[in-house]
Every structure is written in structure tokens, then in C-alpha cells.
A = this chain, B = another copy of it.
Amino acid sequence: MAHELGNIFESLPEDISKEIFSELVRGDSFKIERIVSKGHYSPASGWYDQAENEWVAVLKGEAKIAFEDGAEVHLTAGSYLTILARTKHKVTWTTPDTETIWLAVHYQ
């Protein structure tokens, strides 16, 4: 089908013992992915330190992201945030009771 629809809220994997990353679309130096978390968070030590900018939204569930400068933000359904390249950050919490569905757009 030429105009195929996907659905962000459907086709959730049964096993989410690990976070699930699904690439939805890719362009030149550009990518959109869906992330499904359920109680997952980043390792206590170390930071994500990305070479590209990331625009991230929580579409369902809840999460917290901490930054190296000490700030922490609490994302609920609809929350979005731009994380510029080289901004060290980590996911400190996602709600363990339900899936958290993220949309992450990586761009230059």
C-alpha cells in the first residue's frame, strides 16, 4: 500500500523487559523513533552525551530526565523538550505501572 499508516500507540511488544526502540522514519541526518519504557531508567553513573540534537516527547505515561547541571524535569502525556547536542542527560525514572511511549526526533 502506497500510503501505509502506522500507529504509535499500537503494536506494543509483549516483552518490554528491555526498552524497545523502533525507527519510524529516517532522512538525511535525521531520524524519528518510538521508545517504549516501563519502569526503565538510565544507569546510575554516566550520562547520555549525543552528537545530534534530540526533540523528545512523552505521548503516554510519565518520565523524569535529569541534566548534568542539576535540573530535573517531569514529563507527562504531551510534554516535550529539546535536548541540544552535547547536553548531558539521563532518564532517572519512568512509571513502572504502565508503558511510557516516547517519540524521539534526532536532527542536526
Q: Which A positions have Cβ atoms within 8 angstroms of B?
A: 1-10, 24-25, 27-28, 30, 32, 53, 55, 57, 59, 65, 67, 69, 71, 73, 75-83, 103, 105, 107-108
Main SS class of interface, A: strand
Given A3-B65, A3-B73, A8-B79: 11 more A-B contacts, CB < 8 Å:
A5-B75, A5-B79, A6-B79, A6-B81, A9-B77, A25-B55, A30-B30, A32-B105, A57-B103, A59-B59, A105-B105
By beta carbon, the residue of chain B nearest A66 is: B3
A56 CB to nearest chain B CB (Å): 10
**Residues of B with C-beta under 8 A to A5:** 73, 75, 79-81
